[in-house]
Amino acid sequence: MRHMRSVHPDFRIDSHGGGADTISWRGRPVGRINPLETLAPATTRDCFIVGTGPSLNDIDFAALRGRTCIGVNGSVLKSEDYSVPFRSHVISDRHFFNDRFELVRKALESGAECIFSFRGLSVVCEREPALLHDARVFLLNEITARYGEPKPGTEAFDAAAERDPDLVLHPRARPSEGRVGFSRDIRKGVFTGQTIVFSALQLAVWLGYRRVFILGMDLGGAGGRFYEAGSQAAPMRLDRDYEAYIRPAFEVAASLLGKLGVEVYNLSERSRLPSEIVPKLAFEQALEMSRGRA
């Protein structure tokens, strides 16, 4: 249960068997977690996942009005600044909840689906539990770090995943502290890929989108995040995680989604991730392809 150590002892999620779960803080209910099954399935072919790389500053973001967008972390600023509503905000890293709480607040107050980790929800309770009262909150577990459940051992997890058609593991890259793979059913959890965009991609595929355009996935190729500069910039682990987790995670996704007929495009032309894994496309080309489908 080591993955539960960062959760505040006064934070609790109470399950009610099929309905919405209750978020409790210091013994009192402060919000609810909606079942992932109640997320509206895709009604269009296309969606845009909005990352946070600085390449976002090179595009006309207002052109995304009317298109389906899933945001991650600080991309909520683009949604607000350009009046482009997102259907979902995906945030999982406890450090982001702690260090960028104002952006978490914006996501919760936006009216969009807030698909958060239990560690993040614990931070919200510690900082401002009233935000959860009217927010549309959904719980997204990591594949091997679920709320209130023991973390499985490496061999046990690999054996179970090999038998589960919804979970696809990388044939070689399986670091002991962060399995590399892809989940076709987010109710079972998601593989982190050590980048929140990868969790959002699993969400988009599970919702039924058949063509996914990813914005701002620079992965350090263009440096930093679009909303940070200088001493205000939070540290990044991309150099450490790229070869061990990020690249092999997208290798799994590319192989699987190609077989499923799901197209994925990287709209950051300066991204570190090579086009041989995820094809690169100009923003204007993506807009033309998605015209009339949003």
Q: Give CA–CA dist 271/213, Å, rounded.
A: 14
Rg over alpha carbons for the chain, rounded to the nearest Å, is 18
Contact 191, 244 (CB under 8 A): no
CA torsion through residues 148, 203, 63, 65, sign: negative
Model pLDDT, residue 154 = 86
Model pLDDT, residue 294 = 41
List the chain pLDDT tens, one digit each, 294 residues.
889 999 999 999 998 776 789 999 999 999 999 999 999 999 999 999 999 999 999 999 999 999 999 999 999 999 999 999 999 999 999 999 999 999 999 999 999 999 999 999 999 999 999 999 999 999 999 999 999 999 988 888 999 999 999 999 998 876 666 689 999 999 999 999 999 999 999 999 999 999 999 999 999 755 678 877 544 555 567 778 899 999 999 999 999 999 999 999 999 998 999 999 999 999 999 999 998 544
Model pLDDT, residue 116 = 98
pTM confidence score? 0.94
User: For the chain, what is the HEC assignment?
Assistant: CHHHCCCCCCEEEECCCCCCEEEEECCEEEEEEECHHHCCCCCCCEEEEECCCHHHHHCCHHHHCCCCEEEEHHHHHHHHHCCCCCCEEEECCHHHHHHCHHHHHHHHHCCCEEEECHHHHHHHHHHCHHHHCCCEEEECCECCECCCCCCCCHHHHHHHHHHCCCEEECCCCCCCCCCCEEECCHHHCECCCCCHHHHHHHHHHHHCCCEEEEECCCCCCCCCCCCCCHHHCCCCCHHHHHHHHHHHHHHHHHHHHHHHCCEEEECCCCCCCCCCCCCECCHHHHHHHHCCCC
Domains identified in the chain and CATH numbers? 12-290 (3.90.1480)
User: Burial, 291: exposed, middle or buried (Cβ in 10 Å; 0-12, 13-18, 19+)?
Assistant: exposed
